[in-house]
Copies of this chain bind each other. A is one copy, B any other.
Amino acid sequence: MIDQHGGNIDVARARHGGDGWIDLSTGINRRAYPIPPIPAEAWTMLPTAAAKAGLGQAAAQAYATTAAIVALPGAQAAIQLLPHLRPRGIARLLGPTYQDYGRVLRAAGWRVEQVADPAALVGADLALVVNPNNPDGRHHDPADLLALVGQVGLLVVDESFADAVPHLSLAPQAGRDGLLVLRSFGKFYGLAGVRLGFALGAAPLIEHLSALAGPWPVSGAAIAIGCVALADAAWTAATIARLAQEAPRLDALAIGAGWSVVGGTALFRLYHTPDAAAAQERLARHAIWSRRFGYSAHWLRLGLPGDRAEWARLAAAVTD
């Protein structure tokens, strides 16, 4: 089944029945950061300027940047606001990539073009690169992307899957005019329900985005959790190390099933299968949910399983 988004596990359940589904249809870490205690005031009070500044500082440290930062309810919220940041014009997306960019920009009256080569982005009013890319993991040297700044109206670099590859990140350069860097919190930390993400850029751009988002876009709980998690360098390092071992392990399972590796990131892998619909169906019979794409009859994307039991179930399912 080809959904607009991964993660809609209730749809899989309705279609295939059964309980205990393992949702590998997203790139959300299944070994989530442990939820810290949440102070009562995080629920009862409007987030204060001080709380928001504290979260911004934690994010700045985690992302190694001195650029201006605004927290939003997910990187998705930044995508929703993009069309309103500049007068309508031509948007070029390096693709195929996360489809909501095209959908959101088109709905707001932008002309949207998908290009395959970064050089073809030049001249666009808004240019979008997801680095590393979803779903194929294609990645770009930050210096090459930086060279595009000034050659497009606004360069948006979505680093939703960059936590495990900090050397790819443009966050340290995000203060440059004409550059907007987006970060996701929920994917790497496994806390997508928290709804937290960040936009990094030059101060006037971030002030504009912040004015569009309003004074209290993220919850007090998101602020409390984000402050703790983003400051936990030990957890981050351990998670990067774990993912570096487990992504090849997932590839090995897939290759054993007769699939080939298209690419991927630390959090998900993209496989070429003989028949993606059949492969998805086979996994679904084991209550494992995967992701297909409308533009390919062969591509199947899998997130990394969480605990040992999930790995065992996946191993059994792919060789069924």
Contact surface of A with B, Cβ cutoff 8 Å: 4-11, 23, 26, 28, 30, 32, 35, 40-51, 73-74, 76-77, 79-80, 84, 100, 104, 107-108, 186, 190-195, 211-222, 225
Pair B194/A43 contact, Cβ less than 8 Å: yes
Contacts A9-B45, A48-B8; A76 near B215 (Cβ below 8 A)? yes
Pair B219/A7 contact, Cβ less than 8 Å: no
Residues of B within 8 A of A108 (CB): 84
12 inter-chain pairs at a CB distance below 8 angstroms, sorted by A residue, are A6-B46, A7-B45, A10-B49, A10-B50, A32-B40, A43-B225, A73-B73, A73-B195, A76-B215, A192-B216, A194-B220, A195-B220
Residues of B within 8 A of A8 (CB): 46, 48-49
Contacts A50-B10, A221-B221; A192 near B84 (Cβ below 8 A)? no
Of all A-B residue pairs in the complex, the 3 with the closest CB atoms, nearest first, are: A193-B220, A7-B46, A10-B50
Pair A28/B48 contact, Cβ less than 8 Å: no
Residues of B within 8 A of A41 (CB): 193
Residues of B within 8 A of A194 (CB): 43, 219-221
User: Which of B28, B47, B217 meets A193, CB within 8 Å?
Assistant: B47
Contacts A80-B212, A107-B211, A222-B219; A45 near B23 (Cβ below 8 A)? yes
Residues of B within 8 A of A23 (CB): 45
| Known contacts A10-B49, A195-B219, then 5 further A-B pairs from the complex at CB < 8 Å, ordered by chain A residue | A7-B45, A7-B46, A30-B44, A73-B216, A195-B217
Residues of B within 8 A of A193 (CB): 41-47, 219-221
Residues of B within 8 A of A215 (CB): 4-5, 76, 100
Contacts A47-B193, A48-B10; A216 near B42 (Cβ below 8 A)? no
